[in-house]
Structure 1
């Protein structure tokens, strides 16, 4: 089964061995260089259960040539085609003793540059000068997310659990969804998970005292209407590790 067929039918796929240990070590080094020296940044969120960096690809752009290695670029193009761009990115670091968990949900909002009253753009919010809105279902259905696993992720340290094929049911409340099959998405260090934003997903508490670090990147190829723009839009062009080695 091809990646695109699996994503269409299940809403997700897992691909291991996308990154070498050297590439993962380089990503860790770049992240730690920033996080050790800057703790007051508004896009950083730190608690005993979670450390997160919003707008990750803008905060640490040096990581991009390593993230978009030949393996990942080939996977994106062969699975989705060309013309996709980054719309949002977040780095999650779930510590060894984290009690943080997330209930089942869909990823329904996008980050935009300003608030404009438009048909079918609803549930506006603003946090730390960042506007977010729920766009029409057609935009969300076109998008996809890649989660890059810096650590081995299992059911014991917060691997996502998903409801298979729930992305095909539209936007709905979890209590209205008939659950036919649930999967725990365990991923090796250096592997990725690709998922659709409307796929219902959740995460449990950590129970094995093992860290879980993930780079979460969302993609689209849809332009927004009437002057509304993706606030984190970054076009992928000619990114190679040689640029920053």
Structure 2
């Protein structure tokens, strides 16, 4: 699985959580999810921090996820007939940090839901791993994530180079069952289309990274000691 992950930039792990666990997580996330169907700031919730700890120790993810990695963000996405959207092909370049730091290598500062974000240096982006836990089945008609295998190896891709980078390999739709996890490099080119039916697609998207950051940056989370 590690060789597959390093080469392609993603891997699918089925049945990481049981259907009953996913149903319970859906109940827990609903009160803190915004009216728009998502939020970026779930790690402050004890249940979410506990789930991050469990994912770090999950045998099915061990080949892709360093057991010492720090969970630095959890975003909730809910796509349904009433909350439907598409996302064009892109890379995830921003990380949540405790405060702004003036350094020439840092750019793309923003504030989202009260948290400070910055575009991370390429060397740091290559160390990040995202784990997307599916609380519902995600079929081809549910607006699944579509990835370009191997595109993460190109590093940060300039907008003008995006068409060439997309041609590296045919795009693949990441289908998952309840409790399945998609593990991916944030530098992997990915997109999603609108859902076609009346189903609901709920995802908890965790980002894991190294415990220390360059340029005097600090993560916008308490360090997890376990």
The TM-score, its normalising length taken from structure 1, stands at 0.83
1:81: Cα distance to partner?
Answer: 3.1
Q: 1:72 to 1:18 in 2, by over 3 A?
A: farther
Q: 1:136 to 1:63 in 2, by over 3 A?
A: closer
1:157 and 1:211 in contact (8 A); partners too: yes
Question: How far apart in 1 are the matches of 2:141 and 2:126?
Answer: 30
Matched, 1:19 2:17: yes
Question: How far apart in 2 are the matches of 1:140 and 1:233?
Answer: 20
- Secondary structure at 1:177 match in 2: helix
Aligned residues: 222
Matched, 1:53 2:39: yes
Q: 1:70 to 1:184 in 2, by over 3 A?
A: closer
1:150 and 1:213 in contact (8 A); partners too: yes
Q: Deviation digits for residues 191-234 of structure 1, max 9, x if unmatched?
A: 00000010010010011211000000000015113432111355
1:193 corresponds in structure 2 to 182
- Secondary structure at 2:16 match in 1: coil
Question: How far apart in 2 are the matches of 1:160 and 1:213?
Answer: 12
Matched, 1:82 2:80: no
- Mapping 1:167-186, distance limit 5 Å: 167-172=152-157, 173=159, 174-179=162-167, 180-186=169-175
- Secondary structure at 2:140 match in 1: coil
Question: How far apart in 2 are the matches of 1:107 and 1:206?
Answer: 21
- Mapping 1:59-98, distance limit 5 Å: 60-66=45-51, 68-69=53-54, 73-98=58-83
Greater displacement, 11-20 / 141-150: 11-20
1:105 and 1:201 in contact (8 A); partners too: yes
Q: 1:175 to 1:218 in 2, by over 3 A?
A: same
The TM-score, its normalising length taken from structure 2, stands at 0.89
RMSD of aligned C-alpha atoms? 2.1
- Secondary structure at 1:235 match in 2: coil
